[in-house]
Structure 1
């Protein structure tokens, strides 16, 4: 009976190791902490450096916290596992185990409990950690990308970045077209209401004092839009709402304020042509 139980236990252990190996092979990187909770300093006793070394020895690409991530890992955090070393209580032994968690914080692997009877801290920690890594060594880790839902290769990442830039350029071009159409609409409406001799196009004087980019303008709602005031408080602009959420007409001026790339832009006309200035608006 005892022999049967022994073989059953061995079988379950082998199945568990095979399952862990299959899952962990889908991960290419391991992020190693700079400091473990049971120690007082970062990389104390060079334990974190040893952890990184052992992961690389057994097939992973290890990255210390704070280092620049590889490009594919920066775009796809789930390519990496986060590691931690846990100290277990023991009267006469130093006991350490290694844990691995996925990008969602779920625990996917716990090593065997490594032990050491050495009294000197550095020697004991290093011996116990190497002992714990024996179960990671048995995994024979080899990175195997998932066939579906896998993280993109470097070429795919570059293509995605390029596509995002194209979409951004299209959005900017579309916004400029809408601004031009809005200006033409205003000019047509003005001519229809006041069929008089053409007046010279209003130009913002060169002496107009524009707020510095760093100066914060505070938006106060009005019946037709907002008034933008500085910290004095002084009204710098009165703006009217349009059909677009992030586009406003400036009262008394042939100018507009709109949002582009998460920045507020004040576009106005001068003798030299259309000019732009970035504003810092707090709505």
Structure 2
């Protein structure tokens, strides 16, 4: 493209963009994405690399979004404008326009449209980007700190922080409610065990037989389980070995509570049994448990 056409493009853009210069000067940095929305892969056709290079060439301070950022920008993303490239419709032509948006997504400035009829994609995109950059090339950009821009970053940060705090509060409340629910369940289980401990053995057996579904005695579980000592009880593993359950000690010998389940494991007549309450009934199964 001839120098005359560059100058013509500049003056076309200059008339519509002059009022935006002061706004662009309010921002200290430019953030360039590694992949623009109309492309299929990061830095395809070196579009992101070229965009960053041209911003830096013409006096701006540009970074990729995944680079190590300056400390002030890391703390306040509103100090930067984010570059977006829009691919416009064109018959047999590649047409691109560069928008600069603030941290709230508002367009602060748009370039003139860069256009070319070159068919090879990489060359076409790069020509169109360079044409669009005529707008920023002659803007005479110079950063001037704007307190309103800085404050907008603080407001965004505070809003995000407030949402995060509110989310954490809800999570804490949910955990407290769950903890209280578990305390109630454990307390009820302990009461049931204590009540059984205070009853004669025959009466306990009658209660169990009346309230549980017994698995056939002729088909006890053949899988061998091993109880391994742990603080306050045992962990039960299978042949894999895979942890099957945790047994918590009670005041009664050969009676254990199953951790995190409505169940107990106890020994009777030389055999170990698992008694589990599933919400509407109790099931009883024999275990091949080795200590």
What TM-score do you get using the length of structure 1 for normalisation?
0.49
Q: Identify, as 1 or 2, the structure richer in helix.
A: 2
